[in-house]
């Protein structure tokens, strides 16, 4: 007689792999995205920030999608708000 294994036992390794991928890849990425969204929501004037391109500047004004940074005396540059990656302390 040929006994077939239970369908649940056949899918158990696949389910196990999905759980591992969720905790090692998906969940940390979601946490990082949430932290970045919180950072962007708290942007305010006179904060020193670093952009994704490595540019350091001081926030002059913040709108819904853009931020204006002062990068030197009398030099102001407008960036996408999402390009701000870090607020200096």
Neighbour count for residue 77 (Cβ, 10 Å):
14
- The answer to whether 51 touches 84, Cβ cutoff 8 Å, is yes
Query: How much is the pTM?
Result: 0.76
Per-domain boundaries in the chain:
1-42, 44-89
**Whether CATH 2.30.30 fits 44-89:** yes
Contact residues for 61 (Cβ-Cβ < 8 A; gap 6+): 45, 67, 68
| Residue 13 dihedral angles phi and psi, to the nearest 5° | -60, -40
pLDDT tens for each residue of 16-70? 999 999 999 999 999 999 999 999 999 999 999 999 999 999 999 999 999 999 9
Report how far residue 80's alpha carbon sits from residue 62's, in angstroms, rounded to the nearest whole number: 10
Residue 50 — left, alpha, or beta (φ > 0 → left; ψ -120 to 50 → alpha)?
beta
């Amino acid at each position: 007689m040929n006994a077939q294994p239970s369908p649940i036992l056949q899918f158990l390794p696949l389910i196990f792999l999905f759980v591992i991928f969720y905790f090692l890849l998906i969940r940390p990425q979601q946490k990082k995205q949430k932290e970045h969204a919180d950072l962007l929501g708290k942007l305010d004037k006179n904060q020193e920030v670093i952009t994704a391109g490595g540019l350091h500047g001081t926030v002059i004004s913040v709108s819904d999608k853009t931020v204006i940074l002062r990068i030197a005396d009398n030099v102001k540059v407008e960036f996408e708000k999402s390009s701000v990656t870090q607020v200096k302390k």
